[in-house]
């Protein structure tokens, strides 16, 4: 797979994840937010909760088990810290979520993805 194909697949996964989150009552505030500390795939809000979402698309469900690791989560946390002033209001709860996608599977939404 070329870099361009991987980029296209990743963007498709982000669109599917945004659709899925909207169906669950989330409002998409931004997509592909770039910061000096990294990129955030989706920033979403539901009520007083703002979630910075990492989206992972893999060819198979078996590959999803390896898609999210502590290194990737640390990068999302760093980027979220840099972007938070743009999206978070006083009193809001902040969390890091992940959406894992594979063909033929329902999206798996991991709320409060932890570094452990």
pLDDT, mean of residues 89-114? 92
Query: 3-110: what CATH class?
Result: alpha beta
94 and 77 Cβ atoms separated by less than 8 Å: no
Question: How confident is the model over 74-100, as a mean pLDDT?
Answer: 95
Per-residue confidence band for 115, with pLDDT thresholds at 50, 70 and 90: low
Task: Residue count of the chain, please give it.
Answer: 116
For the question of whether the overall pTM of this predicted structure is more than 0.85, the answer is yes
Categorize the per-residue pLDDT at 58 as very low, low, confident or very high, splitting at 50, 70 and 90: confident
- In this prediction, residue 62 has a pLDDT band, given cuts at 50, 70 and 90, of confident
Q: Using an 8 Å Cβ cutoff, are 48 and 93 in contact?
A: yes
According to DSSP H, which parts of 1-116 are helical?
3-23, 61-64, 70-87
Q: Does pLDDT of 70 surpass 90?
A: no
């Amino acid at each position: 797979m070329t870099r361009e194909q991987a980029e296209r697949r990743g963007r498709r996964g982000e669109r599917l994840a945004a659709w899925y989150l909207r169906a669950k009552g989330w409002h998409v505030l931004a997509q592909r937010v770039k910061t000096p500390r990294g990129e955030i795939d989706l920033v979403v809000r539901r009520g007083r909760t703002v979630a910075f979402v990492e989206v992972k698309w893999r060819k198979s469900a078996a590959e999803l088990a390896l898609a999210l690791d502590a290194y990737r989560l640390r990068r999302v946390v760093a980027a979220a810290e840099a972007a938070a002033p743009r999206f978070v209001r006083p009193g809001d709860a902040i969390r890091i979520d992940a959406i894992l996608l594979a063909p033929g599977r329902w999206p798996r939404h991991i709320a409060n993805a932890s570094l452990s």
